Amino acid sequence: MRELRGEVIPASARSRAAELARQLREHDYLYYVKDDPAISDAEYDGLRRELEALEQRHPGLISPQSPTQRVGAPRDAAFAPVSHRQPMLSLANCFSEAELDEFLGRLHRALGQVPELTAEPKFDGLAVSLVYRQGRLHSGATRGDGRVGEDVTANLRSMRSVPLQLRCETPPGLIEVRGEVVMPRAGFAALNDRLEAQGLKAFVNPRNAAAGALRQLDPQVTAQRPLRFFAYAIGAVEGWPQAPASPRTHQALMQLLAEWGFVVSDRIDRCVDRAGCVRYYTQIMEQRPELDFDIDGVVYKVNDLALREELGQVARAPRWAIAHKFPAQEAGTVLNAVEFQVGRTGALTPVARLQPVFVGGVTVSNATLHNMDEVRRKDIRIGDYVIVRRAGDVIPELVRVDLEKRPVTASCIELPASCPVCGAEVEQIEGEAIARCSASFRCPAQVKESLRHFASRRAMDIDGLGEKLIDVLVDSGALATAADIYRLGLETLVAMPRMAEKSALNLLQAIEGSKQTTLARFLFALGIREVGEVTAAQLAEDFGDLAALREADEERLKAVPDVGPIVAARIRHFFDDSANWNLLDELIELGVRWPKAQKRRQGGPLQDKLFVITGTLDGMSRDQAKALILEAGGRVSSALSGKTDFLLAGEKAGSKLQKAEKLGVAVLDQAAFMRMLESAS
């Protein structure tokens, strides 16, 4: 008879199941994390089958943490977006010892000394964040754009190196554990063999294979892919327990994560000085070919976690860490032809069509030549024997020509007089390296590129509206402006080649979903020249509202942090064009909307005063202080400069204090700041 839920489970069954789960967890840990199994596969299977049988007999015994519950049911829709509690930052790069010196110099200037650093491999995989509540795996997400990733919990759960439960008596109430999912080289090779044997397409490199595995809709498939999770950082933490004490250094933190059951790199070293860093780098580079998995450099990090707080971050990377990348890999090949691509702003980019060559793990057949100045400077001719380079994810580059191998037939590269896409005249502005098609939105290439940018992940994030579909939609006349995206109907979509009704419906849903956006994303999506993601966010924060931004003159725009005269002029130019006004109105009419950003008060007591906040404030987070400043009409930036009016300095303010003194910036302690707010209001 089947046992009903709620029926009493014999104590003996309960304790045996708990014991089996404990043993299986321990063996999983030894096998997948420690790489040091203690029992045979057959013994392991025996334990597992016994637990499965018990759970089947008494379903009340099943918990999400049970080792039998790693692999769940397949899903049929895309992954839901999740906001990271703390943004997942990227890392600044350096490629030479000179650039490493610059990093060390920056640390020295900020802290008055070069602090102790750690060095570790830079994994070439996919960054993910795992959230543990009360020590149990709650959810897991990809990095995405750093703020919002995709919920891939079910797939992460299926990886044995991801603990379902922390090996710790008193876990924090909540902790985000960050790290990289990689596919070991051996597993990658075996997987590709398997795929090819089935007549399927092999993956280009282990990173792509890992990404593919994590984005599987069926966790069963992910479970069969040889993935490994390496922990290297933490994000948000709530409720750190009495014991263990909260770690003070990166090394102590990594040690703790290892104790909790995570795989951490066994090559985290301390480097006391520059020579130590260089030694570590050289050593790892030599060992690189023998490593189990791909790495693309090393990461140096400030070891002392309190100093990290003090250093903070710039744009989207912390000041306390840097990636020292391995030199790009190079190979020689023949330049067959040069074609000109037309970008979003009409810029003509010469692209080299190459004899395919294998470099840095992939086959390269195109490389960017940037612009005509570059072509002339490198004296590149069609037919030349050229050296191409590939560094990580970066688009392959043509480094130089091997002049000794130049054939007599080599021919010069000419800038076309008319746009290769629409035939309009090509303009070259005096003193600018870039030549542009003069047709602006009448050129299909510019339209396509703008739409691609508009729909891209970090802009309006319309999943499913990719390059190929945009091409056919524009060519068929269904799309001419961004507003047309919101007018697309099912009929138009299914009439496109290879577009099934199901994907068309999904796309329409994604388009509908994209209407609810943020002002920052929307501004970025517009593709105003010189307005990247960071500037868009600054503008959104400063103006809070599109109406005010539309009207702002260049002087007002220059008051926004990071906006100089060129950017201000570009923004003005964009809003002076009535076609753009119409587009904005149409988009809003079609339902594109955003929550009103926290707006700076106009005419507030701190009107236009630029603040930088440093150190720890009493009874108030930096975000709260920032909100107070914005409410009073002030502005907040992370970088201290001559433009700064006040440095609000809390406890342990550190190096910014000295810098403020040097720059002659007024320093406020918290009490003075509060008095200023009170007396001003």
CA within 13 Å, CB half, 644: 25
Nearer to ligand IVH, 266 or 404 (CB): 266
The Cα 665–Cα 671 span in angstroms is 18
Q: Which is catalytic among the residues 34, 122, 599, 656?
A: 122
Minimum distance from residue 525 beta carbon to ligand IVH (Å):
23
Closer to ligand IVH at the Cβ: 214 or 567? 214
Active site residue 122: yes
C-alpha span between 91 and 411 (Å, rounded): 42
Among residues 123 and 594, whose Cβ is nearest to ligand IVH?
123
- Least separation in angstroms between CB 320 and ligand IVH: 8
Give the Cα separation of 233 and 211 in Å (integer): 20
Q: What is the DSSP string of 147-214?
A: SEEEB-HHHHHT-TTS-SB-S-SS--SEEEEEEEEE--HHHHHHHHHHHHHTTPPPPSSHHHHHHHHH
CB-based contact 269:118 (threshold 8 Å): yes
The answer to whether 617 and 563 have CB atoms below 8 angstroms apart is no
What minimum distance in Å lies between the beta carbon of 253 and ligand IVH?
12
Q: Smallest gap, in angstroms, from Cβ of residue 235 to ligand IVH? A: 9
- The pair of three-digit structure tokens given for residue 402, joined into one six-digit string: 């091997």
Nearest Cα to Cα of residue 216 among 170, 287, 300, 154: 154
- Residue 212: count other Cβ atoms within 10 Å of its Cβ: 15
Residue 71 vs residues 32, 64, 219, 544: alpha-carbon distances, Å? 16, 10, 6, 45
Distance in Å, CB of 298 to ligand IVH, minimum: 8
Tell me whether residue 323 or residue 613 sits nearer to ligand IVH (CB atom): 323
CA nearest neighbour of 339 among 329, 330, 352, 358: 352
Look at residues 627, 637, 634 and name the one whose alpha carbon lies nearest to residue 609.
634
Which residues are at the interface with ligand IVH (CB under 6 A)? 89-91, 120, 122-123, 127, 143, 180, 232-233, 299, 318, 321, 323
Instruction: Give residue number: closest CB to ligand IVH.
Output: 127
Nearer to ligand IVH, 123 or 326 (CB): 123
Find, among 360, 261, 200, 220, the residue nearest to 28 by Cα: 261
Question: CB of residue 205 vs ligand IVH: minimum separation in angstroms?
Answer: 15
- Which residue pairs, CB below 8 angstroms and at least 24 apart, start in 48-51? 48/24, 50/16, 50/20, 51/17, 51/20, 51/21, 51/24
- Of 129 and 514, CB closest to ligand IVH: 129
Q: Give min distance, CB of 233 to ligand IVH, in A.
A: 5
Cα angle for residues 141, 161, 244 (degrees, 5° grid): 85
Nearest to ligand IVH of 154, 177 (CB atom): 177
Residues known to be catalytic? 122
